[in-house]
């Protein structure tokens, strides 16, 4: 099993992880009913609608 000879420095580790920090969420859509931002193809968390239809959450 491969084992590193030296500890990876914080600068090396953080510069490698910095590529992921640049990514932004581009898939935000607007709910047509309440005009709040929501993820596409999902039920609106504010008004509980999807595709213009009201969705009732089931309680356990």
Structure tokens at 45: 């968390």
Determine the pLDDT at residue 10. 96
pTM value > 0.85 = no
Average pLDDT, rounded, for the chain: 87
Nearest alpha-carbon partner for 30 in 46, 15, 54: 46
Q: Which of residues 25 and 55 earns the better pLDDT score? A: 55
Distance (Å, rounded) from C-alpha 50 to C-alpha 45? 10
Mean pLDDT in residue range 33-57:
88
Neighbours of 44 (CB within 10 A): 19
pLDDT computed for residue 57 by the predictor? 64
pLDDT tier, 25 (very low <50, low <70, confident <90, very high otherwise) = low
Structure tokens at 31: 């709910």
Q: Are 28 and 39 in contact (CB under 8 A)?
A: yes
pLDDT of residue 31: 92
Instruction: Dig out the tokens for 32 from the structure.
Output: 């047509």
């Amino acid at each position: 099993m491969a084992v590193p000879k030296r500890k990876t420095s914080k600068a090396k580790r953080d510069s490698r992880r910095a590529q992921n920090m640049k990514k932004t969420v581009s898939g935000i859509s607007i709910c047509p009913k309440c005009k709040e931002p929501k993820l596409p193809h999902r039920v609106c968390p504010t008004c509980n609608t999807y595709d213009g239809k009201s969705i009732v959450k089931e309680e356990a």
